[in-house]
Amino acid sequence: MTHAMDVQELGIVLVTEKHTPAMLNPDVLRCSGIIPIDWELARPPLYAQHLTQLVFQNGITLIAEANRILFIEGIRAKASSNICIARIARHYIERLPHANYQNVVISLKGTAVMNEHLDAVRQYLVTHLLAPGAWQHFGQEPVRASLNFTYTLENKRLNVSVSEAALEQSEGQVDPILLFVGTFAYPASVHPVQLCHVIEHWQTDLKIFEDLINQRFLNQEKQTWTVPLPELIPLNA
C-alpha cells in the first residue's frame, strides 16, 4: 500500500548576483527585523569562503552563497499559519532591497511510504512509471532509477524529481519511501515587489505539488488546500 505524500520541507531560494555570503549575520538579521529577536542558534554559524550557514533552534536554516540565498523550514504536520519561512524571506527582500536579486524559486520536498516489501519503491519506479523493456535486465543487480519531469504552467515551470530512499524508524526498522522534490521556477525578475508576490503565494505552489503527486503519481485523493489544480502540460509534449 502506498500512502499519500507528506510534504516535509519548504525552501525559498533567492537567486542573486555577486552576493556576499558573510552578510548573513544573525545579529544583523535580528537588528534589521528580518528574524525575531528571540531566535537562538542551534550551533555556531558556519562561515566558509563562499558559504554561510545559520541553523536555528526552531529548525529553520538559512544559507547564503555567492549567487543565492536559501531559506529552509521543515513543515511536516505544521499548520500553514505556523509556517514562517516565507515571511522571513519576504522581510529579507524588504530590508535589503538592493541586493541584486535576479529571481526566486519555491522548492518543496515530500515523501510517500510504501508499506510493502523493501523492493516496492524500486519496482514502482522501473515498472509503473517506466515502460518495460530489455534495458531493465542488465548488470548484476536489479536496475535502479531516479526520474525527472518538467511541466510548463501558466506563469512558471515545475521541475519534479522522483527517487527512492529509506526511512529509518527509531526501533531500527527501515521503510522504503518515494522521495519527491518539486521546484517552481518563475520568469526572471529583479523587482522586489514581484519577488515578494511570488513568495506570498507559496501555498498555491504547495497545493499544485501535492495534487500532482497524490492524484497523478500515487492515485491518492488527499486534500489539504482549496486551490484548483491547473492543467499540467509536460515540456515538449
CA 39 to chain centre: 23
- pLDDT digit string (tens) for 16-57? 988 889 889 999 999 999 999 999 999 999 999 889 999 999
What is the length of the chain?
237
Q: Are strands 101-113 and 157-168 parallel, antiparallel or unpaired?
A: unpaired
Predicted pLDDT at 188: 87
- pLDDT digit string (tens) for 127-175? 889 998 999 899 999 898 999 999 999 989 999 999 998 887 777 777 7
Backbone torsions φ then ψ of 229, nearest 5 degrees = -80, 120
Burial class (CB in 10 A: 0-12, 13-18, 19+), 208: buried
Residue scoring higher pLDDT (77 or 150): 150
Predicted pLDDT at 224: 43
**pTM value?**
0.87
What are the CA-CA distances from residue 130 to residues 79, 113, 125 (Å)? 36, 20, 7
For 45-65, b/e burial (b = at least 16 CB within 10 A) is eeeeeeebbbbbeeebbbbbb
DSSP string, 100-127: -EEEEEEEEEEEEEB-S-TTHHHHIIII
Task: Please tell me whether residue 216 adopts helix, strand or coil conformation.
Answer: helix
